[in-house]
Amino acid sequence: MAKTLKEGEIEELKNHADIQIVISGYVNLKRSGKSYVGLCPFHKEKTPSFTVDPRKQLYHCFGCGEGGDIISFIMKVENLDFIEAAEFLAKKVNYNLQFIYTDTPEMPEKRSRLIEICELAKKYYKYILFNSKVSERARDYLNRRGFKKEIIEHFELGYSPESWSSFSNFAVKRGYMLKEIIESGLALQSSRAVNEIYDRFRGRIMFPIKDIVGKTIGFGGRIINDAQKSDANVEMQTQGRQVWMQPQTKSQALTKPEMQIKMQPQVKAQAKYINSPETKIYSKSKSIYGLFDAKNSIVEKDAALIVEGYTDVMTLHQEGIKNAVASLGTALTIEQIGIVGRFTKNIILVFDSDAAGVSASMRGMERLKEYNEKLDLFHESNINMKVAVLEEGYDPAEYVLKKEREKFLERVDNAVNIIDFTIDMILRKYDINSLSDKLSASDELLGFISTLSSKIVQEECIKKISEKLNLRESLLVEQLQKKSSKKSYRKAEDSVSGQEGIKRNEKMVSPLRNIEIEALKIIINGIGDKYYDLLDIGAEFFNFEDTKKLYEIIKEALTESKSDDGGVNFPLKISSDKLEDEQLKRLYNMIIFSPVNYSDNNLACLEVYNNLKRIYITGKIDEVKKRLKQFENYRKELTKLIKESSEILTKKPGGEPENKKPEKEKLEKVDGKIEMLNLKLNKLENELFKYK
């Protein structure tokens, strides 16, 4: 479901948020004249070059070029998209954003209601965990796992009673409909009656799953009936006692009368973990557990550790390893890679050495190959994925507790590139002392290597395989050539080469670009006698995609400002939501922070206007001359053809034939075109003279 902000919402939000106050929460700012300066949060520097201008409500770094308004700052520093940044800022300044949803009219309210129910459930489960006797075993389990109260509170864990409908009844009393509770994923429809539902999560430790801005969108629930048995290996000692008793059958009353919890016995075994189903607010393949809590650490360390379980994440965070997140029990999906890729390009998969972990790593590599433009070549947008395998019998939580933090970090530091890991995993499948297995291993390995686009990486892999299998490199290279399947990658390389060529051409014509930038600067600052002529000059006078687009945005913004209140305040402020990509934001930010130091504003405006006119007209003249040349050449060929056909036909009896007439008509049309183009050329040259 797509959503957009209502018109004017961003400006209202920015009016409620002082850029200097908000940025001060991230950067130590000091006053410098009318602005504030500090060390840039986006690159390392010793001398402050990061400037915040409260009058313009903009920021700019003169070191790295980053800049924009408060929304773009939040987007950059928190690694959020535009809507997420607006929601994050609104929450920070206590402003209620108004959205427009593109689906059915009831969707905005429905989504909001579902999030409200999940937030209510989180508070409900949390209250029970910390305040009810029915959660005593859950608290005992968490204590045995070594979790401190602070980390449990930080991740907002809770407990769902074993009653069939404790939360459902609680939510109904709070005014939520049965259908809404089902759609939130927290309840199921009873088969006994249409107006009956029962709780999806019963007798479980509850792990709230949050979106990137911290809203609860789903849950993971761990059953604790089998905790003593399944988690004996993490206890330092069992104390020789049975922890779990039969479920209670008497009602337990919480401090709030409305929380009546009716306990009923479990009649059959249940899955150890269950998650919320797919809902309108939660998708398992697009969600990552702990990302809201880990994102700042991921950015700081420029790496994300992907583990399997909720408790793995909590344990690592408790031990100070706060860049750990979990993939919610699935192999890493393309969508999850994309989400993590917004915060770092370095992903480390952390698994134990069991078959499931290895298998998940292999699937992760397949997703990586789908996500990356090229798996083994450096690309700015590529994800660099590594694999850290722990000792057999240890999951990440157990390892960091028993082997200590430093040993775990050592394993992470020694993580191997996923290509090397894949080769090792393939080799493990075969007995290389057996001839048939050796041939099968080489065949599978060469099939994998043939998908790699870098000759250098292929050569290194061949060397490794040659040593492992005791086969000649030349033989492996020969077989590899037969399996080569790099056509799709060549296409990508051609595309990249083409883009680099465009960049080189842009550098060659930078003087023309500078003129267009100066024109935008004059329009944004509203200076010069020729200002309105420059404003109305038209997008066709801008040759570069970003300058042309920014001109159109500026003109639209000025038109809207005039229609709203009849006046425009300069320099013109453009909201982040109007600037579609980073290149536009950087261009606008560079212009807005550039000093206006023309010795004569009127003369500067006139010169820029004349330059744009000259460039445009000169381009038109070149086009006309090119067309004129084409028609003149065509006329020569046509005249020659008419002459040759005339000589042939005059030798035949019967006089001048009718066949000659069409050629003469064509010649007349060509002469007419040439005359028209000459007139147009003359007119353009006269017009060009005005701007000399």
Q: Average per-residue pLDDT in the chain?
A: 80
Sign of the dihedral through C-alpha 142, 146, 149, 151: negative
Rounded alpha-carbon distances, angstroms, from residue 492 to 372, 455, 459, 486: 11, 15, 21, 10
The model's confidence at residue 384, banded by pLDDT at 50, 70 and 90, is: confident
- Quick one: 587 and 643 in the same domain? no
Residue 226 lies in a domain: yes
Residue 592 CB neighbours (<10 A): 22
Instruction: State how far the Cα of 56 lies from the Cα of 520, in Å rounded to an integer.
Output: 17
Domain-embedded: residue 167: yes
Q: Does residue 426 contact residue 441 with C-beta atoms inside 8 Å?
A: yes
- Is 280 inside a domain boundary? no
For residues 503 and 514, state if they share a domain: no
How does pLDDT run across 518-575, given as a tens digit for each residue? Answer: 999 999 999 999 889 999 999 999 988 889 999 999 998 888 776 555 567 788 888 7
Query: What is the arithmetic mean of pLDDT over 278-289?
Result: 91
Mean predicted confidence (pLDDT) in 419-447: 87
Same-domain check for residues 387 and 320: yes
Token pair in block for residue 148: 């401190």
d(CA 234, CA 230): 9
Same domain, 541 and 671: no
What span, in angstroms and rounded, lies between the C-alpha atoms of 333 and 339? 10
Residues 6+ apart with CB under 8 A from 562: 568
CA distance 563 to 568: 10
pTM, two decimals, is 0.58
Q: Work out whether the CA dihedral 682, 686, 688, 692 comes out positive or negative.
A: positive
Residue 354 per-residue DSSP state: S
Are 194 and 216 in the same domain? yes
* Domain-ending residue, one of 83, 101, 119: 101
CATH number of the domain encompassing residue 294: 3.40.1360.10
Sequence-distant (≥ 6) Cβ neighbours of residue 51 within 8 angstroms: 32, 35, 36, 37, 59, 60, 61, 62, 593
Range of the domain at 22: 3-101
Is residue 117 one of the residues assigned to a domain? yes
Q: What is the mean pLDDT of residues 260-280?
A: 68
pLDDT in tens, 146-199: 999 999 999 999 999 999 999 999 999 999 999 999 999 999 999 888 889 999
Using a pLDDT cut of 70, give the percent of the chain over it: 80
Q: What is the rounded CA–CA span in Å between residue 629 and residue 194?
A: 82
Give the confidence band of 204 by pLDDT, cuts at 50, 70, 90: very high
Please check whether residues 413 and 516 belong to one and the same domain. Answer: no
**Is the CB of residue 41 less than 8 Å from the CB of residue 77?**
yes
- pLDDT higher than 50, residue 380: no
Quick: pLDDT tens for 591-632.
888 888 888 889 889 989 998 998 899 889 999 999 999 988
CA dihedral 303, 309, 310, 315 (to 10 degrees): -70
Whether residue 435 sits in one domain with residue 357: no
Rg (CA), the chain: 35
315 shares its domain with 377: yes
Across 48-62, 99-113, 269-283, least confident range: 99-113
Section 667-678 average pLDDT: 88
* 492 in any annotated domain: yes
Among the listed residues 218, 216, 221, 217, the one whose alpha carbon sits nearest the alpha carbon of residue 206? 221
Spacing of C-alpha 11 from chain mean position: 24
Instruction: Tell me, yes or no, whether 155 and 260 share the same domain.
Output: yes
CB 102 within 8 A of CB 3: yes
Q: Are residues 583 and 471 in the same domain?
A: no
Pairing of strands 304-307, 324-326: parallel
Instruction: Say what the pLDDT of residue 176 is.
Output: 94
pLDDT of residue 91: 86
Q: Are 364 and 349 in contact (CB under 8 A)?
A: yes
**Does residue 281 belong to any structural domain of this protein?**
no
Distinct helix (H) and strand (E) counts, the chain: 27, 20
Residue 617 within a domain:
yes
Which of 470, 487, 508 is the endpoint of a domain?
508
**Location of structure tokens 């799709």:** 488
Whether residue 657 is preceded by a cis peptide bond, meaning omega within 30 degrees of 0, is no
Burial (CB count <10 Å: 0-12, 13-18, 19+), residue 589: buried
Q: Are residues 292 and 254 in the same domain?
A: no
How many domains does one find in the chain?
6
> What percent of the chain is modeled with pLDDT above 90?
31
Q: What pLDDT, on a 0 to 100 scale, did the predictor assign at position 408?
A: 93
How many whole angstroms separate alpha carbon 262 and alpha carbon 250? 7
Helix (H, G, I), strand (E, B) or coil at 368: helix
Tokens for 301, please give them: 């360390």
CA dihedral 519, 521, 527, 529 (to 10 degrees): 0
pLDDT band at 358 (very low <50, low <70, confident <90, very high): low
Pairing of strands 384-389, 346-351: parallel
Is the same domain home to 327 and 453? no
Angle at alpha carbon of residue 277, lines to 291 and 182, rounded to 5°: 120
**Mean pLDDT on 658-679:** 80
> What are the tens digits of pLDDT across the range 322-357?
999 998 866 677 778 878 887 888 999 887 765 444
CATH of the domain at 43: 3.90.580.10
451 SS3 class:
coil
Instruction: Give the closest residue to 221 by CA, choosing from 209, 207, 241, 200.
Output: 207
Domain end residue (candidates: 63, 79, 101): 101
